[in-house]
A and B are shown apart, each in its own frame.
Chain A
Amino acid sequence: MEKNMMALFHYEDDFIAAATKLKESGFDRMCCMSPIAIHEVQKVAGLGKSPVRRFSLIGAILGGLSGFALATICALVFILPTGGRAIIAVPPFLVIAYEMTILFGVLATLLGFHIVSGLPAWHDKPYRVETNIDRFSLVLGFGPDDDPSLAEEIMRAAGAEEITELEKPE
Chain B
Amino acid sequence: MAEYREPSYAEVNRDILRTLLETGPRYWILLGFTSTIAVVCFFVPWMYQLNVGVGASGMNRNAVWGTYLSNFIFWIGLSHSGTLLSAVLHITQSSWRKAIYRSAEAMTLFSLMTAGCFVMVHLGRVWFVHWSVPIPNEMGLWPNFRSPLLFDVMAIATYLTASSIFIYMGSVPDYAAVRDASTGMRRRLYTIFSFGWRGTEREWHTLGWAYTFFAVFVIPLAVSVHSIVSWDFAMSLVPGMHHTIFAPYFVCGAIFSGTAGIVTLMYLLRRFMKLERYIGEIHLDNLGKLLLVLSLIWSYINILELFTGWYSGSSFEYEALKFKLFGYYAPLYWEMILFCAFVPLLMFWKKIRLNWNIMLVIAILINIGMFTERFIIIATSLPRKFLPDAFGFYFPSMVEISITVGSFAIFTTLFLIFIKWTPCVSIYEVKETLQPLRRRAV
Contacts and interface: CB of A to CB of B under 8 A. Distances in A.
Contact of B202 (A13, A47, A70, A82): A47
A35 B202 contact: no
B100 interface: no
Contacts of B161: 103, 106-107
Interface in A16-44: 31-38, 41-42
Contacts of A120: 192, 195-196
A14 B30 CA distance: 48
Given A11-B437, A50-B206, A98-B224, A35 B199 contact: yes
A134 B8 contact: yes
Contact of B142 (A71, A78, A103): A78
B55 interface: no
Contacts of A110: 165, 169, 210
Contacts of A109: 210, 213-214, 217
Nearest to B14: A133
| Residues of A in contact with B, size category | 35 or more
Contacts of B157: 103
A40 B279 CA distance: 29
Say what secondary structure dominates the interface of chain B.
Answer: helix
Interface residues of B, number: 61
A56 B209 CA distance: 10
Interface in B247-283: none
Contacts of B192: 120, 122
Contacts of B146: 82, 85, 89, 92-93
B162 A34 contact: no
Given A11-B437, A133-B9, A33 B191 contact: no
Given A93-B145, A105-B217, A123-B196, A12 B436 contact: yes
Interface in B1-20: 8-10, 13
A60 B255 CA distance: 26
B202 A95 contact: no
B199 A132 contact: yes
Contacts of B437: 10-12, 134, 136
A80 B142 contact: yes
Given A13-B438, A37-B432, A134-B437, A50 B205 contact: yes
B151 A74 contact: no
A79 to B, nearest CB: 10
A117 B431 contact: no
Contacts of A75: 145
Given A47-B201, A105-B217, A52 B195 contact: no
Given A37-B428, A89-B146, A113-B206, 15 more contacts: A36-B428, A38-B204, A50-B210, A70-B134, A71-B145, A73-B136, A85-B146, A95-B228, A100-B154, A102-B224, A103-B157, A110-B169, A112-B210, A117-B207, A134-B437
Interface of A: 10-14, 31-38, 41-42, 45, 47, 49-50, 52-53, 56, 60, 67, 70-71, 73-75, 77-78, 80, 82, 85, 89, 92-93, 95-96, 98-100, 102-103, 105-107, 109-110, 112-114, 116-123, 125, 127, 129, 131-134, 136, 159
18 contacts: A12-B436, A31-B200, A34-B204, A45-B202, A45-B205, A70-B134, A89-B145, A89-B146, A92-B147, A96-B145, A99-B158, A100-B158, A103-B162, A109-B217, A125-B196, A132-B180, A132-B199, A134-B13
Interface of B: 8-10, 13, 134, 136-137, 142-143, 145-147, 150-151, 154-155, 157-158, 161-162, 165, 169, 172-173, 176-177, 180, 191-192, 195-210, 213-214, 217-218, 220-221, 224, 228, 428, 431-432, 436-440
Q: What are the 8 tightest A-B residue pairs by CB atom distance, in nearest-first order?
A: A134-B9, A50-B209, A71-B145, A117-B206, A37-B204, A120-B195, A113-B210, A119-B195
